[in-house]
DNA sequence: ACCTGAACACCGTTCAAGT
DNA sequence: ACCTGAACACCGTTCAAGT
């Protein structure tokens, strides 16, 4: 037959296909390599470099795919505290659809340019609610930090804290026994943390608006 | 001269030296390789494998070093909410001494076996405070998730959110202008988030103790 | 512009050989 | 038990050669 060589009549590769294939590999193996990616695309490794300037760029394509599910429309329709709750749950669930991807993506900045839309909506919402200008970004960042930490916690291998016979671990053993196990463990931690965080923000806001008057 | 070959009279390597050298490399380069580590130790790569069963094991040695600064003694001496605050700040500062290490360590479980001591103290403290048995671990985990997320945020490259001329970004621009820049940005997010989290936990505790009686 | 095929430097791990 | 030296399979990236 003879292998086609040289520029093909119609391009066979693009960022979309590359990102999709890479995410599939991550979902399946927890990681991806350039050779593995090329194989799955039925292409030579060097071909990929015509569409993405390196492995790091492919990782960003994966990030775009994973985070594309997140939207911040709640901030336009719900009260700020409910919006944060909805956003956080949506955020976490986007990552939970691709558990293995979290470790790949967590080490770089979360704030992909596409999430500026969310930032915009969130900032407006918090501003309307009465948060001081110079704290708005901090509030958003704090919530995002918690979500990312919770996402990493959710994919952590079953902790299996085996407590030895040491003294003073009575209460810890009790707490371990009473705590849910499996996926429910991380979920409960997320629920409790998010509830506390939002509730605390409510109090902080109240302090601000009270002291500054109507 | 002739290179020494075979078993040396006194061992020249041990976990301590390996972990220390690896952390030094991480601090300097943001990462480490087995060849690089061997070179710094003045040793062959294969020698390392006699003391650590692989690169992942060396990462754990690094983790032990970084987290050894964290202690949970506050839970024995301070009220639970102040103890959480002190613990969180100490935790973050331990990571901030080795900023580059965070990315290396964040992807694996945080809960190193050595941190069981902290868990024990924290569990006792929260139990005494009146948190329900089955929520104690969730509270600790939630705080830890937030800290880890904040640590990752702190080492994120300067976000440089450049907002285009699009509509509705007025408030975002305002918030960006009002927010502190540099290291103060992440610090403020951490401060606000931690304050809110602890304040929210206080409220949650109050709800529990009120509904269950004295 | 886009793909191939071969090359390069580098990595983590293994293992027989030495004492 | 502990270190050497060489080997292996694999990785990310580059680049001339093709159309």
For A100-109, the pLDDT digits (tens) are 999 999 876 6
Q: Which residue has the tokens 């995002």?
A: A144
pLDDT at B116: 80
pLDDT at B1: 46
Q: How far is CA A142 from the centre of its chain?
A: 14
Segment A176-191 shows an average pLDDT of 93
Q: Please report which confidence band the pLDDT of residue A7 belongs to, taking 50, 70 and 90 as the band edges.
A: confident
**B182 Rama class: left (phi>0) / alpha (psi -120 to 50) / beta:** left
Distance between the alpha carbon (CA) of A201 and the C1' atom of D17, Å: 62
Question: How many other C-beta atoms lie within 10 A of the C-beta of residue B186?
Answer: 24
Question: pTM of the prediction?
Answer: 0.94
If you measure CA to C1', which residue is closest to nucleotide C6?
A46
With contact defined as beta carbons under 8 Å apart, do A18 and A26 qualify? no
Burial of A198 (0-12, 13-18, 19+ CB in 10 A): buried
Closest CA to B63 of B19, B25, B29, B33: B19
Closest CA to B11 of B57, B43, B56: B43
- Taking an 8 Å cut-off on Cβ atoms, the answer to whether B116 and A168 are in contact is no
For A126-140, the pLDDT digits (tens) are 999 999 999 999 999
Closest CA to A33 of A42, A17, A45, A20: A45
With contact defined as beta carbons under 8 Å apart, do B18 and B61 qualify? yes
Range list of H helices, chain A: 15-29, 34-41, 45-48, 55-67, 74-77, 80-96, 99-106, 116-129, 136-155, 170-178, 183-212
For A41-85, the pLDDT digits (tens) are 999 999 999 999 999 999 999 999 999 988 889 999 999 999 999
pLDDT at A128: 95
Distance from CA of B44 to the nearest CA of A (A): 28
The rounded percent of chain A whose pLDDT value lies above 70 is 89
Mean residue pLDDT across chain A? 90
Structure tokens at B59: 């990462």
The span from the CA of B46 to the CA of A68, in Å, is: 44
End-to-end alpha carbon distance in chain B: 80
User: B174 to chain A: which residues are within 8 Å by CB?
Assistant: 123, 127, 133
The span from the CA of A192 to the CA of A132, in Å, is: 26
pLDDT at A114: 55
Is the pLDDT score of A213 beyond 60? no
Q: Give, as ranges, the nucleotides of chain D with any atom within 7 Å of a protein CB.
A: 1-7, 10-19
Per-residue pLDDT tens, chain B, 214 aa: give them: 456 788 899 998 999 999 999 999 999 999 999 999 999 999 999 999 999 999 999 999 999 999 998 888 999 999 999 999 999 999 999 999 999 999 999 876 655 555 788 889 999 999 999 999 999 999 999 999 999 999 999 988 766 566 666 656 788 888 888 999 889 999 999 999 999 999 999 999 999 888 765 5
With contact defined as beta carbons under 8 Å apart, do B206 and A161 qualify? no
The span from the CA of A141 to the CA of B91, in Å, is: 19
Distance between the alpha carbon (CA) of A35 and the C1' atom of D10, Å: 10
Distance between the alpha carbon (CA) of B45 and the C1' atom of D8, Å: 15
Segment A4-20 shows an average pLDDT of 91
């Amino acid at each position: 037959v003879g292998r086609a060589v040289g520029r093909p009549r119609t391009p066979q590769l693009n960022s979309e296909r590359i990102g999709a294939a890479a995410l599939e590999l991550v979902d399946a193996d927890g990681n991806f390599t350039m050779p593995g990616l090329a194989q799955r695309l039925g292409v030579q490794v060097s071909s990929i470099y015509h569409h993405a300037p390196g492995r790091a760029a492919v990782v960003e394509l994966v990030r775009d795919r994973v985070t594309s599910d997140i939207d911040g429309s709640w901030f336009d329709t719900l009260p700020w505290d409910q919006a944060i709750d909805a956003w956080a749950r949506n955020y976490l669930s986007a990552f939970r659809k691709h558990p293995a991807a979290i470790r790949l993506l967590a080490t770089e900045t979360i704030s992909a340019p596409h999430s500026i839309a969310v930032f915009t909506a969130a900032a407006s919402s918090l501003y309307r609610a009465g948060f001081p200008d110079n704290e708005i970004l901090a509030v958003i960042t704090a919530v995002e930090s918690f979500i990312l930490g919770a996402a990493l916690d959710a994919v952590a291998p079953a902790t299996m804290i085996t407590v030895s016979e040491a003294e003073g671990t009575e209460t810890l053993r009790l707490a371990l026994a009473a705590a849910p196990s499996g996926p429910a463990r991380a979920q409960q931690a997320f629920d409790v943390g998010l509830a506390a965080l939002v509730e605390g923000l409510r109090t902080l806001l109240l302090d601000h608006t009270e002291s500054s008057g109507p």
